Amino acid sequence: MPSSINEAFWEAIDKLVSESRIVIDRPKGSQHPDFPSIVYPVAYGYLSGTTSMDGNGIDVWVGSAFSRTVGAVMCTIDLLKKDSEVKILLGCTSNEKAMIYDFHNHSENMKGLLITR
């Protein structure tokens, strides 16, 4: 696959992020609303005015750099909800990317694939 296609993908995500407002609805350290034993290791939210596969805004993880730099995407499969999603990682360190990967692979019902830029 030509690298220009890959670069065009990342440029499209950059454009989407730059034109959207980031809403953090689950700060780092907060509990999942339905599963209190699950704690968010990194700030989690969505891009306002966008639509993801679940009908809500496109999900984003916002790392400690607090930047709009897209460093990776996480493709997830949830066997309980029978859905899949793509989540954008912004300003995340390598350690934060690893924590996000673990978050999405913590159970047999949810699996994720991390694609780095």
Give Cα 30 to chain centroid, integer Å: 16
Band of pLDDT at residue 59, cut at 50, 70 and 90: very high
Predicted confidence at residue 34, as pLDDT, reads: 87
74, pLDDT greater than 90: yes
Average pLDDT taken over every residue of the chain: 93
Residues 6+ positions from 2 with CB-CB distance below 8 Å = none
Residues 6+ positions from 110 with CB-CB distance below 8 Å = 76, 77, 78, 79, 80, 104
Predicted confidence at residue 1, as pLDDT, reads: 58
Write out pLDDT tens, residues 21-55: 999 999 999 999 888 998 999 999 999 999 988 88
Report the pLDDT averaged over residues 7-34: 95
Instruction: Provide the token pair at 66.
Output: 């607090």
Predicted confidence at residue 95, as pLDDT, reads: 97
CA nearest neighbour of 100 among 44, 52, 53 = 44
Band of pLDDT at residue 2, cut at 50, 70 and 90: low
